[in-house]
Structure 1
Amino acid sequence: MSKEITINDFSQHLFWDVDLNGFDLDKYKTFFIQRVLEYGNIKDWNLIKKLYGMEAIKEASLNARSLDAVTLSFVATIFNIDKTEFRCYKHRQLFPNLWNS
């Protein structure tokens, strides 16, 4: 018998700026997936796979406006998709960084 996954099952460092009293995992699915991809650990990754499934994670990562370079490489590898297909990659190319930071 598996228990329902709640916000309390995830690492608390993911929510330093979020009020958990009214947080709805379904309503804010895209935000939550992106937060776990960028800042979560392997336990959090396994929980979002169970909660949303790989197709929802793929869709959220493809449409994310920003992902850091490591996360982009990770999801591109996991889903076997070229980095240029991700919205965050296209957006980054439109606004190049003028400094090497």
Structure 2
Amino acid sequence: MALQILEKNGTFELFGNLNTKTSRPFIIHFEYLINTLKDVTINIGKLKAIDASGVEALKTLIAISLKNNNILYVIGKECKDIYAHNSSAFAA
């Protein structure tokens, strides 16, 4: 399943899979938003699956936001796969 991104009340909700096939376009899209907006909120709660490449994509966006002194929120309690891959990546 492809990755779908919908904006709802200032929060970008992800639907589908964040994986090797979708992570590069995901990074490009959100890198633009991080550089354009003061803060960005991504809700991963409705993802069906996320693999190691998807986790790395989120880590890349966190690094970009830190470098640019912008705020990136990653929210969503339903996607537990992300914590299985690397929960320490989001402790900052």
TM-score by length of 2: 0.34
Structure with greater proportional strand content: 2
TM-score by length of 1: 0.32
Find the structure with the greater CA-based Rg.
1
Structure with greater proportional helix content: 1
Which structure exhibits the higher relative contact order, with contacts defined as CA atoms closer than 8 Å and separated by 6 or more residues? Answer: 2
